[in-house]
Structure 1
Amino acid sequence: MGGNTREAGRSTANRLLSLLAAFTPAAPVLTLSELARISGLPIATTHRLAGELIEWGALERLADGRFQIGLRLWHVGSLAPGHRDLRSVAMPFMEDLYEATHENVQLAIRDGKRVLYLEKISGRKSVDTMTQVAGRLPLHATGVGKVILAFSGAELFSQVVAEGLARCTPHTITLPGVLAETLEQVRQNQVAFSLEEMTMGASSVAAPIFGPEGTLVAALALVVRSSTNVRPLVAAVRTAALGVTRELSAPLSPGGNLA
């Protein structure tokens, strides 16, 4: 059903989704005025629609009047079959990789022109990172992002370059030609590195996870202190990623489980 035509013909669904999309890992809690500004809706409309989302459980209002995503929305999101299956298949391999290294282990997929982190295992002694589950980071500056760029075709590369290769640290690759050469090495070796390119003090080594048809599904990475020699970690990361790839390609038993 259509929304208020005075608001540029936006449907009710469009306006509700714009409110939910206003929340990000960098801004998980917002005031009413911030919600209105980010969504482009009038304060009165924002207040009314936010009330409906609170009633349904998609939003929660805190004691100070600010808003955050509600638990019901998280529960609905967890039902997405592709990501749920990927996480459940990958988790045992991620746990093994963590037990072998006690470093940050991350599982990521592509979300438009960004990296979306689906899962993460960290320990008390693991290096601090900017990564959050459900968080997004640039493709060109992260190990998992380079894997995604390398195996996603020329169109995505062109889009990312056209948007600009932002400098996250002094070590970030910002020249398209250098990035193209780096991605060719990733395709040849099926491993990518990010050496203090996203966060100073942290480096990563990542490997691709492929689906049954040989297309890229996700990337798996270890993130360690930049003082760590990442080369000896390549075999462990690639082995874990290959294990997930094999499980994703395994036939299902009659009961619906992996055979």
Structure 2
Amino acid sequence: MPPRSVAARVLSVLDAVERASGPLQVTQIAARTGLPVATAWRMVRELTEWGGLEQQADGRYRLATRVWAIGSSAPCVRRIQRDTSRHIRELATATGRTAYLSVLDQDEALVVSLAHAGRGAPEVHEGSRLRADASSAGLLFSAFDGPDGNPVRDGRIAVHRDITGRSSMSAAITDKAGAVVAALTLAGGRGEAWQRLRPALVDAARTVRFSIYRDELLA
């Protein structure tokens, strides 16, 4: 068998991290790719410097923003965005609130699709980054990917209010294995009656999850 090219080795590292159910240590990446540990370290370091991988506080690695930016032009990603955008628009129309879908990226919630219905948080847009302590989506992600003690109630629902009067409620979206991979959010103002809007959000989150994982869930 001819030696693997540098490009093939780099792609094997990205593929291993993408297919994993969670972040990986370099030794795990080496085992999954068949690369020597020293080579895997070099590939991971270069990918991290480029922005394709990010290192967590515990030393493990996961995909980072640049891979998402490149992948967003892929037909499968465009299909997901198109399908979820329709459901997000319907949720915004039904509730009269800003609705958006976000994914975890570099310890922040990265907004990937949004519909604005005249109320909520118009400053949020596709590509916005929301800190874990500044949004319900961030709280939701940190509760399932970080330390215990985050204010998440009723399973996978989180509510956040800040001193400026903004508030939001998010519902977790999980993959087939049950890992939290995204959050669907409604944004509103001070004193928002989130309990009243919770059923609409939960129903929409189920629909969005089915749209994203339709093939897997029906298999």
- The one of 164, 174, 190 equivalent to 1:210 is 174
Larger radius of gyration: 1
CA contact (8 A) 1:204 1:222 kept: yes
Q: For residues 82-133 of structure 1, give each alpha carbon's deviation from its aligned partner in whole angstroms, at most 9, with x where no partner exists.
A: 753442332222121012012100111111111111111113x323444221
* SS state at 1:151 partner: helix
CA contact (8 A) 2:172 2:182 kept: yes
Which residue type is aligned with residue 198 of structure 2? V
d(CA) in 1 for partners of 2:171, 2:204: 9
Aligned residues: CA RMSD:
3.1
Give the TM-score of the pair, scaled to structure 2.
Answer: 0.61
- The one of 180, 186, 200 equivalent to 2:149 is 180
Report deviation, 1:239.
Answer: 0.8
d(CA) in 2 for partners of 1:239, 1:246: 11
Query: Structure 1: which 4+ aligned runs deviate by more than 4 Å?
Result: 80-83
Question: 1:105 corresponds to which residue?
Answer: 99
Report deviation, 1:17.
Answer: 5.9
Change (3 A) 1:181 1:139: closer
Question: 1:190 corresponds to which residue?
Answer: 156
Question: 2:43 corresponds to which residue?
Answer: none
Give the TM-score of the pair, scaled to structure 1.
Answer: 0.52
Change (3 A) 1:94 1:228: same
Question: 2:4 corresponds to which residue?
Answer: none
Q: Structure 1: give runs of 5+ residues left out of the alignment.
A: 1-12, 19-74, 159-178, 253-257
Change (3 A) 1:180 1:86: farther
Change (3 A) 1:196 1:127: same
Report deviation, 1:181.
Answer: 4.8
1:88 aligns with 2:82: yes
Question: 2:210 corresponds to which residue?
Answer: 246
CA contact (8 A) 1:212 1:248 kept: no
CA contact (8 A) 1:117 1:135 kept: yes
1:227 aligns with 2:196: no
- The one of 138, 148, 152 equivalent to 2:141 is 148
Q: How does 1:39-50 map to 2 (within 5 A)?
A: none
Q: How does 1:55-66 map to 2 (within 5 A)?
A: none
Q: How does 1:116-127 map to 2 (within 5 A)?
A: 116-123=110-117, 125-127=118-120
The size of the alignment, in residue pairs, is 157
* SS state at 2:124 partner: coil
Which residue type is aligned with residue 129 of structure 2? R
d(CA) in 1 for partners of 2:211, 2:121: 30
CA contact (8 A) 1:104 1:126 kept: yes
Report deviation, 1:78.
Answer: 3.0
Change (3 A) 1:139 1:81: farther
Change (3 A) 1:95 1:218: same
CA contact (8 A) 1:129 1:202 kept: no
CA contact (8 A) 2:104 2:182 kept: yes
* SS state at 2:199 partner: helix
Which residue type is aligned with residue 83 of structure 2? V
- Provide the identity percentage: 23
d(CA) in 2 for partners of 1:80, 1:142: 29
